[in-house]
Amino acid sequence: MTEILSRHRPLALLAGVIFAQVLLLAFQIKREHDVRLVRYWAVQLLTPVERVGTWSFSKVGGAWSGYVGLRDTRAENERLKREVEKLSMRNRELESKAAEAQRLATLLNFREAHPEAPMLAAQVIGASADPTSHTLFINRGERDHLRRNLAVITPDGVVGKIVEVFPSAAQVLLINDKDSGVGALFAETRTHGVVKGSGDPEPRMEYVENGEKVHAGEAVLTSGEDRIFPKDFPIGTVESAAPGNPFQVIHIQSAAHLDRLEEVLILLTQQELSPKKVEEVPGATPQHQPAQPPVATQKTSPSAAAAHTAPKKPRPAASPGPESNAPSGVPVPTPQPSPSVPPQ
């Protein structure tokens, strides 16, 4: 380089002098936006270099963070997956506990709202293995002083009754079982009938004459005539009603969620539950509130009487038989048999 410069010294000097004068000009000349030319040139000269530098750094940084820095990502990913699974499981567990707490709170609230009726909470621990049989098992039995023909309910409505008692468990016959029968009446017309299972998921109300006016959505309550369930406790609502032979075919939407029961209450008395308003539990949304019986005079339809007196399939569990003896010390008043309605 030095040799070339010394060989072409005049030319190099010319270049130097011209360059110096160009610089001199550049310091004086202003381009648009009042920017001196020398500054404009400096920016033009440096910007591409800076751009290339920035691009190079970003690429190198990207390569580092995208490849080299990902060495431990697989292990970290596995660890995070395990953690997510663990947390999901924990979340489901907590959700389940929260739902259980909500259900128990609803039960407790209902129980506290009816201090006059002794009741016992139980957990559903199993169901029948027979698909045609609608029964379930609860975790209460003889040790808890349970006996046959005790009513099983939820705050929403009637569930069924106890048909078998074991030392630490009991079997409950649901109201949609074909062997079940519950004395019932319509809340508005007070027309009596019998809610029975038909093998379908939902029960029917039978022995209602074709002349009776029944409309969908009408509340169906217990009549208390079976001496198992307290009077005027909700069973469900009319889903559909159609004329039949000789009685109407009425499908009932049960108030209690019979297909997803987890906790139930066992009524240790047939005493009528007072229409005390159940306190609202945060998050609890009971589908049915106990219907208030109208002031209208109760009338017993002949069909209801026929239902209770008709020689039907024996239903020993539907009535308190002679073997139903409450143990001493249990605050369960003995149901008073109604003279008008014989036990089933």
Decide whether 19 or 55 has the Cβ nearer to another protein. Answer: 19
Among 28, 96, 240, 325, binds another protein (CB under 8 A): 28
Decide whether 37 or 121 has the Cβ nearer to another protein. Answer: 37
Q: List the beta bridge partners of residue 123.
A: 263
Confirm or reject binding of residue 25 to another protein (CB under 8 A).
Answer: yes
Decide whether 25 or 45 has the Cβ nearer to another protein. Answer: 25
Confirm or reject binding of residue 42 to another protein (CB under 8 A).
Answer: no
Task: Render 124-175 in DSSP notation, one character per residue.
Answer: EEEE-SSTT--EEEES--GGGT--TT-EEE-SSSEEEEEEEE-SS-EEEEET
Residue 33: CB minimum distance to another protein, A: 13
Residue 53: CB minimum distance to another protein, A: 28
Decide whether 31 or 86 has the Cβ nearer to another protein. Answer: 31
Question: What would the x/- binding string for another protein be over residues 61 to 100, using CB under 8 A?
Answer: ----------------------------------------
Residue 4: CB minimum distance to another protein, A: 17
Sequence-distant (6+) residues with CB within 8 A of 261 are 124, 136, 154, 159
Residue position matching structure tokens 């698909």: 131
Residue 49: CB minimum distance to another protein, A: 22
Query: Which of 110, 334, 107, 337 has the alpha carbon at shortest distance from 224?
Result: 337
Decide whether 10 or 131 has the Cβ nearer to another protein. Answer: 10
Distance CA 318, CA 316 (A): 6
Query: Which of 229, 251, 239 has the alpha carbon at shortest distance from 341?
Result: 229
Where does the chain have alpha helices with state H? 2-7, 9-28, 37-66, 73-113, 302-309
Sequence-distant (6+) residues with CB within 8 A of 223 are 183, 184, 185, 192, 231, 304
Residue 27: CB minimum distance to another protein, A: 9
Sequence-distant (6+) residues with CB within 8 A of 90 are none
Sequence-distant (6+) residues with CB within 8 A of 59 are none
Among 5, 6, 7, 22, binds another protein (CB under 8 A): 22
Residue 10: CB minimum distance to another protein, A: 4
Among 21, 240, 325, 334, binds another protein (CB under 8 A): 21
According to CB under 8 A, which residues from 1 to 20 bind another protein? Answer: 9-10, 13-14, 17-18
**Measured on CA atoms in the order 105, 108, 112, 114, is the torsion positive or negative?**
positive
Residue 52: CB minimum distance to another protein, A: 25
Among 5, 31, 84, 88, binds another protein (CB under 8 A): 31
Distance CA 15, CA 341 (A): 128
Tokens of 284: 């609890």
Distance CA 37, CA 27 (A): 6
Confirm or reject binding of residue 35 to another protein (CB under 8 A).
Answer: no
Among 24, 70, 101, 310, binds another protein (CB under 8 A): 24
Rounded to 5 degrees, φ, ψ at 145 are 65, 35
Number of residues that bind another protein (CB under 8 A): 15
| Interacting residues with another protein (CB under 8 A) | 9-10, 13-14, 17-18, 21-22, 24-26, 28-29, 31, 37
